[in-house]
Amino acid sequence: MSVVGGWENVRRSVRDEVGRSAYDAWFRNLQARSQGDSLVLLCPDRFSREWIERRYGAALRRAAHSYKSVAYEIQGVEPSTGPKGLAAENSPKSPNPGNSAQRTPATQGSRNGPGTRTHRDVSFDTFVTGASNALALEAARAVARGNPGRCTPLVLSGGSGAGKTHLCKAILRATEDSAVYRSSEEFTTEVTTAMRRGGMDGVRHRYRRANNLLILEDVQFLQGKRATQIELFHTLDHLIQHGKSVVLTSDRPPAELDLDPKLVSRMSSGLIARLGEVPAEMRKEILRSKAAYGGIRVPDDCLDLLSRRPVRNVSDLISGLNQVVVRSTLLKQPICLDLVYQTLADVDLPSGPYSLEEIIQLTAKAYSLKPEDLSGKSRRQRLVRPRHFAMYLCRRFTDCSLKEIGRAFKRDHTSVMHALRSVEQKTATQPQLRYEFEALAARFGAAALPLPKA
């Protein structure tokens, strides 16, 4: 099957019309072929075919004016001139519909080794920055420019979904995939296999002499693997002494890892940049950026609800957006508060039992607060609402008495009774507040309204 020679011209015209973001998301990796007088687009899945035809069909027909028609074909499935219904199973950017394990946003194989892929939609420009990650972003940019200074080794530290992999992929993309990029698991496998087979010379050449940049993710998984730790220490030592750059990621700072002291010392000799928890104001910007990148318009009230959803990390935050978009497309319904609420209500989250402390901690985290804020004396509105919600959830999901709940919040039982009445009255008359509260309650695995009868 030959790719159409004029497809590049068509893509350039489409890019000029739909804009860079939509082009990168849907057309950059799209292929096509000629079939008689038709231009046939080879879509990776039915979701993509439906989305492209519905949103960009007119732009494609204008750009492909030299062809009589534009048709759409799912790779490996018969051609079609239009969608025959929606039964999508993949995400919009899945490049490999035949392998469910590979259904990830727009990825492309890297020459750096098995299992390594660069995300074509990941760059420094798509990284939403704030006070919690600004240092990490600037350090990553310095490494990508080839001027790391004292930033090497650069250790990106933070929990799952904080953005460490995003920055690593952005560095790899900016350096045109010239780095050696490995997970700690891959590195360990290479080292242990080479030791068994007597091939360590090849491994050392690959990591110490054949590259100017080493990116190694999830160093915490090297705990307990002493031989691999020693090899990594000597590799880092060689690279740094020869002026080469190193980027490492971990869920904790080096000093908190149970690693060889020499390796910890070497890792700590550069810059440790922590990516903290994403504050509430950044969550909405992350969702807005992701939606805009895919050419999707999500109303502000829906972004507000999604951004307040209790999640463990940014990956879970974006997952909620993806579920809403897929649901909207499959059901052919506009994205609105009702649709978002229905989507979040279907999320399978673990249920209790919960302690008072756990409910207070989870509620505080959902609003980027500290547990002490909920039990404090302040009556500021930004604290009162989460505090009342938390009291209601304590009553709903525990067997504790009003006095016990009051003690947990350093209040008496009458304050708890007032909070319960306030939540019931306001959620009954203010739909958006109800959506917000039910999204919080969904984190506990069941509907929270109304309270069970005593």
Return the domain boundaries, the chain: 7-80, 117-274, 280-345, 356-442
pLDDT at 80: 35
Residue 53 has pLDDT above 70, yes or no: yes
Give residue 283's identity as a one-letter amino acid code. Answer: R
pLDDT at 110: 34
Architecture of 117-274 per CATH? 3-Layer(aba) Sandwich (3.40)
The domain 280-345 is classified under which CATH number: 1.10.40.30, 3.40.50.11540, 1.20.1250.20, 1.10.8.60? Answer: 1.10.8.60
The yes/no answer on whether domain 356-442 falls in CATH 1.10.1750.10 is yes
pLDDT at 353: 62
DSSP letter for each residue of 53-79: HHHHHHHHHHHTTTSSEEEEEETTS-E
Q: Do domains 7-80 and 280-345 have the same CATH topology?
A: no
Residue 115: pLDDT band by 50, 70, 90 thresholds?
A: very low
pLDDT at 2: 41
Q: How far apart are the first and last CA of the chain?
A: 70
Task: Please give the C-alpha separations between residue 410 and each of 355, 356, 378, 404, in angstroms, as whole numbers.
Answer: 16, 13, 12, 10
- Taken in order 376, 378, 379, 382, the sign of the CA dihedral is negative
Architecture of 7-80 per CATH? 2-Layer Sandwich (3.30)
- Average pLDDT over the chain reads 78
pTM > 0.75: no
Residue 95 has pLDDT above 60, yes or no: no
